[in-house]
Amino acid sequence: MKRARTEPLLAGEAQLISNHTHSQPSISHLQPSHPGSRGETATPLPINGAIHSDEVLTTTVNGAYINGTTDAEEPKTRFASKPDIPRNMDPTAPLKDHRRAAIITAVLQRDDPNVVLDLIRDIPPENGVPGLYVDCVLDELGHTALHISASLGRLKVVEALIANGANVHRGNYNGETPLIRACLLSNNFDQQSFGELVSLLHPSIRTLDTARKSVLHHVVALAGVRNRAIIASYYLDQIFLWIAQHQDGDFRPVVDLQDEHGDTALNIAARVGNRGLVRAFLDVGANRILPNKLGLRPGDFGVENEVGWEWLMSEPN
């Protein structure tokens, strides 16, 4: 029997909730749902802080990363863009700015894009470029208004931010995109709004965080948290549905992405013991014998009774 894992609120989200409890009736929906051990699912900073955030990537069959094409019509694998405010600055600086706190409060209170955009207009751009600064950092974790609105399922705000130039590939300080952040919380499951959110943020399905994890890695890790497996299944279904309907069912470029440990999402699904997710990945053609850096494959994690040991360990056709 695998032990379910839980995680306390991240520091910034705990402070955000304590500061704005009056504006959100159920603060339980702000609880991050990713596993508690950052050892297995960590998103550490690159060495010396160097990461080419906007580099476009593709993968070979063995998961090695190579430079990809720049065709705007082709889906791409890439790293998340870095926040505009460097991590080495005072991380509490955004929290001391009442204008940024007001934006967070507005998103927490209701799905009103006009209020949010009006408040963002009061923020001067960090890069000196005139115009609406929609990607401004709002908290010590590097989240933007798009991160927070996507996490809370504020679809009207998400749509308005994107229409005004918000970057769907923008990462927080761990490289987590708005789509990834939405998968770490339960709001879009509670509202059954994740399908619409994916349609708005779909260009970032293949955007990686600083640990080379895609949104699929985060979704399947969610299944290892107590009472979150059904949420993970819903999120995965909506992502797969979008790919089936809009990318001709071309699942392989995203399902076989490997993180910094060499794990695919299928490997993680097998490790957390969720047989339903394992079957879902096998059904879309995920590579069932691709090992991680320790040489471990999906079939090495004890799911053979349900999905068939021979199927997992055999060479794909």
- Per-residue pLDDT of 7-46, as tens digits, reads 444 434 444 434 443 434 332 344 454 444 333 333 333 3
User: Length of the chain, please?
Assistant: 317
**What is the domain extent for residue 255?**
211-317
Torsion angle of C-alpha atoms 114, 183, 144, 209, degrees rounded to 10? -150
Look at residue 307 in the predicted model and tell me its pLDDT. Answer: 52
Residues of the chain with pLDDT under 50: 1-31, 33-53, 58-73, 306, 309
Task: Please indicate, yes or no, if residue 146 is contained in any of the structural domains.
Answer: yes
CA distance 85 to 112: 26
Same domain, 174 and 98: yes
- Per the listing, tokens 């979008």 go with 242
Look at residue 116 in the predicted model and tell me its pLDDT. Answer: 98
Query: Given 198, 232, 261, which residue is the final one in a domain?
Result: 198
Look at residue 75 in the predicted model and tell me its pLDDT. Answer: 66
Look at residue 63 in the predicted model and tell me its pLDDT. Answer: 36
Same domain, 221 and 303: yes
Task: Please indicate, yes or no, if residue 65 is contained in any of the structural domains.
Answer: no
Same domain, 218 and 288: yes
Task: Please indicate, yes or no, if residue 27 is contained in any of the structural domains.
Answer: no
Task: Please indicate, yes or no, if residue 115 is contained in any of the structural domains.
Answer: yes
Same domain, 109 and 178: yes
- Cross-strand pairs, 2: none
Same domain, 97 and 194: yes
Query: Given 198, 229, 262, which residue is the final one in a domain?
Result: 198
Same domain, 173 and 104: yes
Same domain, 84 and 194: yes
Same domain, 159 and 220: no
Look at residue 44 in the predicted model and tell me its pLDDT. Answer: 35
Look at residue 170 in the predicted model and tell me its pLDDT. Answer: 97
Same domain, 140 and 103: yes
Task: Please indicate, yes or no, if residue 48 is contained in any of the structural domains.
Answer: no
Look at residue 301 in the predicted model and tell me its pLDDT. Answer: 83
Which residue, among 288, 300, 290, 293, has the nearest Cα to 262 in the 3D structure? 293
Look at residue 15 in the predicted model and tell me its pLDDT. Answer: 40
Which residue, among 76, 83, 72, has the nearest Cα to 56 in the 3D structure? 76
Look at residue 191 in the predicted model and tell me its pLDDT. Answer: 98
Look at residue 94 in the predicted model and tell me its pLDDT. Answer: 77
Q: Residues with Cβ < 8 Å from 259, sequence gap 6 or more?
A: 208, 211, 212, 213, 214, 217
Same domain, 219 and 174: no
Same domain, 102 and 191: yes
Query: Given 150, 169, 198, which residue is the final one in a domain?
Result: 198
Look at residue 124 in the predicted model and tell me its pLDDT. Answer: 80
Q: Residue 85 belongs to a domain with what CATH number?
A: 1.25.40.20
Task: Please indicate, yes or no, if residue 203 is contained in any of the structural domains.
Answer: no
Same domain, 94 and 189: yes
Domain count of the chain? 2
Task: Please indicate, yes or no, if residue 26 is contained in any of the structural domains.
Answer: no
Task: Please indicate, yes or no, if residue 275 is contained in any of the structural domains.
Answer: yes
